Amino acid sequence: MRILLVSPRGEFLCRSEGFAEFMQNSREMRTILHFWNGIGVALPTIAALTPEGHAVEIIDENQEAVDFDGRYDLVGVTAMTQQAVRAYAIADAFRARGVHVAIGGIHATVMPEEAARHADTVFVGEAENSWPQFVTDLAHGVAKPVYNQADFPPVDLDRTPVPRFDLLAKYRYPVIYVQASRGCPHDCEFCVASNVYGRRYKFRSVERVVDDIREAKKHWKFAQIGFADDNLFASRRYSRSLVEAFSAMRFSWFGVCDISVAEDEVFLEALHESGCRTLLVGFETTCEENLRQLDKNQWKLRQFSKYPEYVERIQSWGIGVYGSFILGLDEDDHETPQQIIDFINRNNLMGAQITILTPFPGSRLRDRLVAEGRVIHDQWNWYTVWNAVIHHKNFSPEELESKLLEIYQGVYNPVSNARRSEYFGRVCRQLVNRRASDDERRAESTGA
């Protein structure tokens, strides 16, 4: 069979013209967009899982147009929620030409009935076990309408082959995503992750992760490696061996983790040595009451008072902290935007992603906001996290969007940029001095 896998065109932007203009004119925002670019690891993984004897092609619609008249026997489409509308249009167009269409990913997993209106086969959950079975079934003319991971044995990440990055080598990505672990035991109200990947962590062995990175680096010599993991340092023992292996390699990388990484200075040093240059940390809010409501087990609330000290400690190792914040949480009021700006600027965060609270299907948040009559619409292409799709007691939807822009402007403006740059200049000088004296001390103690 000839198989095409498509990642549909995605929307980054907010519908506000002011925002688009700001993005155009701010050098920092353009840099962020340059690095905030790439494709998830799903399609190269699905391609690698395809049984032998089939020809597979991948198209990233953010990079290249799909040829709807191409001769394919099977088209597989992925989608996170904001890509769903485009994914369905692609699916409809291929089905109209008689091609069998399969759809999978985070959105199809939580909205399988909706996806089934546009696809012949819907994948619910992870596809490592179900995809090979489906391809074989389809080749024998017995494909089913739904393949649900729940009907298969648990996914073993070590049995997943190295992703087919070669199929994406035609694109010039600044970042290549790989995945070391999956699953999350936490239960943040707005998040869908645990519904899709389960509540238990599972890990890919360090050797396999190294193989994935080696394969990626074969095709993109200079790309940074981004980790798709929701919390890369969930197990400190595992992360230590990961980082040790990376130290012997040549690449720089970033990942998502929680702030507790700051508790271990030895690990921070090892992180820097291994090429880690940025950590994305979900602070979510600067308001304690919001934190109390967000996470049932109150983990983030307990860390709250330590945020400034921990950020300082991580960054002192030459690792930039990129914070994520949500605007539109229940307790947010007109003070909130300035508080977020102050937090980011005062703590010299290297960068920040601020988003508007979005009730993604499959989240507890959505159930609650629907029950409260606060979800404005289900036009998924506006679920970009930069558009307001909710009613809030203190802000109109337009205000949420204009306040979001205000926060970005408060963070990325010439004065704060200069201050941040001065701060990081100082941090780097201190780091270099500290390293030099450590080296001297080591030389003395070995009698060199």
Q: Identify residues 346-365 at the interface with another protein (CB under 8 A).
A: 350
Burial 328-358 (b: 16+ CB within 10 A, else e): bbbebeeebbebbbebbbebbbbbbbbbbbb
Strand 253-257 to 276-284 pairing: parallel
Per-state percent for the chain, helix, strand, coil, to nearest 5 = 45, 15, 35
Residue in 56, 119, 122, 184 binding ligand SF4, rule: CB under 6 A: 184
76 touches which of another protein, ligand B12, ligand SF4, none (CB within 5 to 8 A by kind)?
ligand B12
Q: 290 is written with which tokens?
A: 């919001």
184 touches which of ligand SF4, ligand B12, another protein, none (CB within 5 to 8 A by kind)?
ligand SF4
Window 207-246: contact mask with ligand B12 (x via CB under 6 A): ---------------------x-x----------------
261 binds ligand B12 per the rule CB under 6 A? no
Q: Which stretch binds another protein (CB under 8 A): 183-191, 195-203, 395-403, 431-439?
A: 431-439
Residue in 14, 38, 94, 278 binding ligand B12, rule: CB under 6 A: 38
User: Closest residue (Cβ) to ligand B12?
Assistant: 10
- Eight-state DSSP code of residue 276: E
359 touches which of ligand B12, ligand SF4, another protein, none (CB within 5 to 8 A by kind)?
none
DSSP-assigned states of every residue in 339-361: HHHHHHHHTT-SEEEEEE----T
Residue 413 CB, shortest distance to ligand B12, in Å, is 20
Helix (H, G, I), strand (E, B) or coil at 9: coil
Round to whole Å and give the CA distance between 445 and 232.
35
Q: 42 is written with which tokens?
A: 């799903």
102 binds ligand B12 per the rule CB under 6 A? yes
421 burial (CB, 10 Å; 0-12 / 13-18 / 19+) is exposed
439 binds another protein per the rule CB under 8 A? no
191 binds ligand SF4 per the rule CB under 6 A? yes
Window 75-114: contact mask with ligand SF4 (x via CB under 6 A): ----------------------------------------
414 binds another protein per the rule CB under 8 A? no
Residue in 224, 231, 239, 286 binding another protein, rule: CB under 8 A: 224
Residue of 98, 81, 96, 101 lying closest to 6 (CA atoms): 101
- Eight-state DSSP code of residue 53: T
Q: 232 is written with which tokens?
A: 């890369």
Compute how many residues bind another protein; rule: CB under 8 A. 29
Round to whole Å and give the CA distance between 279 and 353.
12
Round to whole Å and give the CA distance between 433 and 441.
12
Binding site for ligand SF4 (CB under 6 A): 184, 186-188, 191, 193-194, 230, 282
Positions touching ligand B12 (CB under 6 A) are: 7, 10-12, 36-42, 45-46, 76-78, 80-82, 102, 104-107, 123, 126-128, 131, 177, 179, 191-193, 196, 228, 230, 360, 384-385
